[in-house]
Amino acid sequence: MRISTNQIFQSGLSAMQSAQSKLNKTGLQLATGRRILTPADDPGGATQAVHFKAAIKTTEQYQRNTDYAKPKLEYEESQLIALGNAMQRVRELVVAGNNDTYNPENRKIIASEIRQLRSDILGLANSEDANGEYLFAGTCSQRQPFVVGDDGRVTYVGAEGPGAIREVDITGNRCIATGDTGAHVFMNIPERSGLLTEAVVKPATTTSTLDVTKVEVANLDEALNSAGESFRIRFKFPPENADPTIGRSGPVEYQIVDMDGNAVKDTNGKYLGGVYGSANVAGDFVPPTPPGKPTEIEFAGRRVTLTGGPATPADLAANPYSNDEVISRPITQVDIFKTLDDIATAFETPATDDTTREALSQAASMALRNLDSGLDRVNEVRTSVGLRLDTIDTQTELNDERLVDLKSTLSDIQDLDYAEAISRFQLQQTVLQAAQQTYVQTSRLSLFDFL
């Protein structure tokens, strides 16, 4: 077989370039510590490496999420402990202040301490974490969650409802809440005494002037017996008289009915009701005398104070009852601040006779039950926070183990075996030297050297 000089030179040059390329690749592998420098080196391994790198980044993000959530929950737990201690101190003061051995001056001192504790609790409710975010504001963490109105009442203006709590992922299918809303911790406390009620005017027309000015307990035993029940106060206008000088004039009666419209009786079997103002000849409502003076209506141990009057029925002949009514219903939730305000006010009111002492006893009973309800809520939230912290600790360990496994597997796929690579480098270096020497010797095989 005839081989040309050019072919000999090209073969030698190709051999040297191939050896040099392999040596250079091995050198890059040794420099980077990676077996796979490009996807072409190992397509299957490169694909696996991409998946493992993504899994590692995701898991590291989960770890950063736990690092964010844990200090916030730990700080919340410390604030809840302080809140529980303050409420327990208020409870002790209420028990002490309800003792008959205390005089009005002693109770004013107790009321002063309760108001100071209320101020401390408000400070806890508006506490900020290390990042300057309000702890109990939910997702509205840049806005102070609790504000005090002109009337001294505390209102929650933070986030509420679905999505009110910021949550972070700690696994692919598990997330954890980083806090609790102030509405849940401080405001929406179950009312346990059964004695707190509200009266709401349900006007059917724009001409109604009915207004509720006060709701209170009139008789403790009867109030306890009707705890949890709702009633309606409805108003009946007098029928039209054939005598034009009388017309529609006469007393306007009120009647206490249940929510189904059934008349309610008192303990003596008498239907609850009475007179509330009157109607003139034209049928217009005339307030009780003297005009503007509130009228108290008592039923089921409750006392509702009203001003103004209901609108005259549109068709008196068909229905003498006004469509306007007052609904008396139990308050299902009460906030911690109202409980503290009410009992402080009760202690500031001198209890010098049987009536005022009975009122103080009622206020103390209501406060103790609702304080216990508030303490239960605090303990409930503390338990929830503790469980979340335990979950974070457990998941952090699991994520650490997963990261070790993922990085180990990724290393097996893409990292270099230095012992094998060094041996291969030395071999390739020898091959390159041999190719170079062979090329030199072969390049001398020319007839022109013998001319």
pLDDT value at residue 287? 82
Tokens 């050297």 identify what position?
449
d(CA 174, CA 192): 35
For residues 166 and 174, the answer to whether their CB atoms sit within 8 Å is no
pLDDT of residue 136: 94
Domain for residue 433, yes or no? no
Residues ≥6 apart with Cβ < 8 Å to 378: 80, 83, 84, 87, 185
Minimal CA–CA distance to 254: which of 186, 188, 324?
324
| Predicted confidence pLDDT, tens digits, the chain (451 residues) | 566 666 666 766 776 677 676 767 766 767 776 666 666 666 777 778 778 788 889 999 999 999 999 999 999 999 999 999 999 999 999 999 988 888 889 999 999 999 999 999 999 999 998 888 999 999 998 999 999 998 889 999 999 888 889 999 998 888 999 999 999 999 999 988 877 788 888 876 666 788 888 888 888 778 878 888 899 999 888 887 777 778 788 888 899 999 888 999 888 888 999 999 888 888 788 887 666 678 889 998 888 998 888 887 766 666 777 778 899 888 888 999 999 999 999 999 887 787 888 888 888 988 999 999 999 999 999 999 999 999 999 999 999 999 888 888 877 777 666 667 677 767 767 776 776 677 666 666 665 555 5
> What CA–CA distance (Å, rounded) separates 311 from 304?
19
Check if the beta carbon of residue 182 is closer than 8 Å to that of residue 156.
Answer: yes
Burial of 100 (0-12, 13-18, 19+ CB in 10 A): exposed
* Full-model pTM: 0.73
| 8 Å CB contact between 50 and 411 | no
Asked if residue 381 is part of any domain, the answer here is yes
Q: Are residues 178 and 206 in the same domain?
A: no
| 370 shares a domain with 249 | no
Q: Is residue 103 part of a domain?
A: yes
| The pLDDT of residue 33 | 66
Q: Is 102 left (phi over 0), alpha (psi -120 to 50) or beta?
A: beta
Q: By residue range, what is the domain housing residue 256?
A: 197-330
Residues 299, 317 within the same domain: yes
Q: Which of 250, 205, 279, 245 is nearest to 287 (CA)?
A: 279
Q: What is the pLDDT of residue 118?
A: 95
For the domain that residue 74 is a member of, what is the CATH number?
Answer: 1.20.1330.10
Q: Is residue 97 part of a domain?
A: yes
Token digits of residue 43: 């397509």
Strands 154-156, 189-190: parallel, antiparallel or unpaired by DSSP?
A: unpaired
Q: Is residue 119 part of a domain?
A: yes
Consecutive H or E run containing 27: helix 5-32
What single string gives the DSSP state of each residue in 370-423? HHHHHHHHHHHHHHHHHHHHHHHHHHHHHHHHHHHHHHHHHHHHHB--HHHHHH
Residue 172: inside a domain, yes or no?
yes
Which of 284, 312, 330 finishes a domain? 330
Q: What is the pLDDT of residue 23?
A: 64
Number of structural domains, the chain? 2
Same domain? 219 vs 311: yes
Are the CB atoms for 142 and 133 separated by under 8 Å?
yes
pLDDT score of 3: 60
Q: What is the predicted pLDDT for the residue at 317?
A: 63
312 half-sphere exposure, CB direction, 13 A CA radius: 21
Does residue 254 sit in the same domain as residue 185? no
Contacts for 30 with CB less than 8 Å, ≥ 6 apart: 416, 418, 421, 422, 425
Please tell me whether residues 80 and 178 are part of one structural domain: yes
Q: For residue 451, what are its two tokens? A: 């001319």
**What is the C-alpha to C-alpha distance for residues 222 and 217, in angstroms, rounded to an integer?**
9
**What is residue 432's predicted lDDT score, i.e. its pLDDT?**
65
Cα of 379 vs its chain's centroid, Å: 16
- Beta-carbon contacts of residue 241 (< 8 Å; ≥ 6 apart): 247, 248, 249, 250
